[in-house]
Amino acid sequence: MEHGLLGQIEDLCRALLSSRGEASGVAIARRVLDLYAHATPDERHAFLRSLAANFGPDRATIGDAWSAYEREATPATLAAMIHAVEPPRQELFRRLNFAPGGTAALLAMREDLLGCGAEGELKSVDADLVHLFASWFNRGFLRLRRIDWLTPADILERIIRYESVHEVQGWDDLQRRVYPADRRCFAFFHPSLAREPLIFVQVALTNQIPGAIGDLLTADRQVMPVEEVTTAVFYSISNCQLGLRSVSFGNFLIKQVVEELSRELPSLNTFVTLSPAPGFGGWLARVLDDPTGSGWSERETEAVKRVLGAPDWHRDAVALASIEKTMLALAAEYYLSIKTGSGEPIDPVARFHLGNGARLERLNWVADVSPKGLREAKGLMVNYLYDRRSIEANHEAYVGTGAIAASDAVSRHLRENARIR
């Protein structure tokens, strides 16, 4: 960064933190954000490093505060301690938020931070932003809004852009997802980002738990009269704001949407997802590469390899049938037996839903034959069931002991697994 610009922003930041910031806070904040917005990537990076180096807490001050607090813990020594430990950049961020558009600008700043890795000293800057955003984007400040065909186009355009599970194929596809009487879409918004969804979920209303995504998204399906629906299927959840990574809304969103839909449609009795299995393909490849290491017989893995190796294999019903039992046993193992170092399933989507208290309800193979679905999961999809009566217990067990709530059907596949290999 041209020394001038970095120095200029730093000076303004110090002014913002000083008494001048009290008199002219909005103006200074606006100026800082404006300079930052027009800076080059390198200049921004330099500024972020400066936040790490120059706007952190002072070790000596912390030491003194600790000595006083250690001697006697009083409200005053505690307050001094808290004040000494909080990095000044936290207050800086809060004051930058004085400017119109400040919240969006701070989210963009964190996007830059993540873009350059948020490594080393920058981790502290990132932690401060996350701490702040977690407080500001508190669930109590979020608003659930239905997304439908009466929603303004700029917001719908963002829905198209942010959808990350099953890509939206243009406006006609979007209309099919939000307009029909048996489709719903809900998003959380924050009052300071009125036109930016934070996270959204797409829901299909059906009369049974669906086993394949294609049936839900196809253009030539029958709309189901809402009087007949019994099941709400959450088939896509997408986070929209990179700048809010690790500030989590999904759990709240699903639960409030369950509430909303229950109120609107008392006939609903089942709330379930149709979810991708993004890690299954990779894991399976490793198993097939080294069946012995994974405890599978070569006979089984060779059969699987043969089928999956054929072109257009997912259209060959006979071949599919020949390995279905094995594939489901493998999937059951993937979900129930394979764990990360910290004892959780290796599938990120599974961690999310099981952590929310859902139950692994059903394994569906072949359920997603999109290129992505074939590539990442060999067509596997799963249903997680949100059963209000067991959500809390499932969650407690999962967090406490790592126990995974699974239906009998899924557990059976696992036993089958033991039998096969």
341 binds a second copy (CB under 8 A): no
Is 275 a residue of the active site? yes
Separation of alpha carbons 370 and 42, rounded Å = 39
Q: Which amino acid is at 390?
A: S
Separation of alpha carbons 97 and 104, rounded Å = 9
The one among 1, 49, 66, 414 contacting a second copy by CB under 8 A: 66
Separation of alpha carbons 122 and 329, rounded Å = 44
Select from 252-260, 274-282, 319-327, 336-344 the region that touches a second copy (CB under 8 A): 252-260
Catalytic: which of 236, 275, 314, 413? 275
Is 190 a residue of the active site? no
Tokens of 31: 């100026």
121 versus 298: smaller Cβ distance to a second copy: 121
Least distance to a second copy from the beta carbon of 286, Å?
31
Select from 90-98, 218-226, 260-268, 362-370 the region that touches a second copy (CB under 8 A): 90-98
Tokens of 312: 């257009």
102 binds a second copy (CB under 8 A): yes
Separation of alpha carbons 332 and 113, rounded Å = 38
8 versus 24: smaller Cβ distance to a second copy: 24
250 binds a second copy (CB under 8 A): no
Separation of alpha carbons 241 and 249, rounded Å = 11
7 binds a second copy (CB under 8 A): no
36 versus 283: smaller Cβ distance to a second copy: 36
Select from 107-115, 146-154, 265-273, 336-344 the region that touches a second copy (CB under 8 A): 146-154
191 versus 311: smaller Cβ distance to a second copy: 191
231 touches 386 (CB < 8 A)? no
| Nearest residue to 378 (alpha-carbon basis) of 319, 298, 337 | 319
47 touches 79 (CB < 8 A)? no
100 binds a second copy (CB under 8 A): yes
Least distance to a second copy from the beta carbon of 400, Å?
7
260 binds a second copy (CB under 8 A): no
Q: Cα(first)–Cα(last) distance of the chain, in Å?
A: 61
117 binds a second copy (CB under 8 A): no
259 versus 289: smaller Cβ distance to a second copy: 259
User: Residue 400: how many CA atoms within 13 Å on its side-chain side?
Assistant: 8
Binding positions for a second copy, 166-225, rule CB under 8 A: 170-171, 175, 191-192, 195
Question: 222 Cβ partners below 8 Å, 6+ apart?
Answer: none
325 touches 415 (CB < 8 A)? no
Contacts with a second copy: how many residues (CB under 8 A)?
Answer: 73
Binding positions for a second copy, 310-339, rule CB under 8 A: none
Binding positions for a second copy, 393-412, rule CB under 8 A: 395-396, 399-400
127 binds a second copy (CB under 8 A): yes
13 binds a second copy (CB under 8 A): no
Select from 98-106, 274-282, 339-347, 374-382 the region that touches a second copy (CB under 8 A): 98-106
153 versus 317: smaller Cβ distance to a second copy: 153
- DSSP for 56-94, please give it: S--HHHHHHHHHHHHH---HHHHHHHHHHHS-HHHHHHH
Residue 148 burial (10 A CB sphere; 0-12, 13-18, 19+): middle
Catalytic: which of 353, 407, 411, 413? 353
201 touches 237 (CB < 8 A)? yes
Separation of alpha carbons 401 and 384, rounded Å = 19
Select from 121-129, 222-230, 336-344, 361-369 the region that touches a second copy (CB under 8 A): 121-129
82 binds a second copy (CB under 8 A): yes
